[in-house]
Amino acid sequence: MSGLDEIRAMIAAGERPPMMELLDIDLAEVDHGYVVFTATPSGLHYNPLGIVHGGFAATLLDSACGLAASSATAVAMNCVTLEIKISYHSALTARSGEVRAVGRLLSIGKRVAYTEAKLLGADDKLYASATSTLLLSERRSDFG
């Protein structure tokens, strides 16, 4: 089964990993080298400064980068983040509405993939962006 087939099967089954349940994140779209996650920030995601914690955006961006790589593998593989660089462009609040993390594959080799993602509002306002380097490794039963 390819990475894309595995992700499509997860969507078809309505499965969400526990972290996505916790933060109410949905995987909305997937294609070869492309994914879209959606979520709606709320007061539950606020930091002590009264805005959405940067970790919420980072989670969306890291997820989009990782699955963009996974969707391009010939067989289902682990795509482990080696490095991610996130730039925050505008603060998220409960008034921001639904946002989408759009992840795209830049290049992929036998062991490493490079991806990028953007966190966008309904009006395409850019809230954050990321680039990521991921290690591709064989899926083992003891690692998930």
The answer to whether position 96 is within a domain reads yes
pLDDT at 15: 86
User: Cα(54)–Cα(56) distance, rounded to whole angstroms?
Assistant: 5
- Torsion sign (Cα): 112, 14, 56, 96: positive
The answer to whether position 28 is within a domain reads yes
User: Cα(84)–Cα(100) distance, rounded to whole angstroms?
Assistant: 18
For the chain, the domain total comes to 1
Residue 141 has pLDDT above 60, yes or no: no
The answer to whether position 144 is within a domain reads no
pLDDT in tens, 43-74: 999 999 999 999 999 999 999 999 999 999 99
The answer to whether position 143 is within a domain reads no
What is the extent of the structural domain holding 65?
3-138
What's 125's domain CATH number? 3.10.129.10
pLDDT level of residue 139 (50, 70, 90 thresholds): confident
pLDDT level of residue 143 (50, 70, 90 thresholds): very low
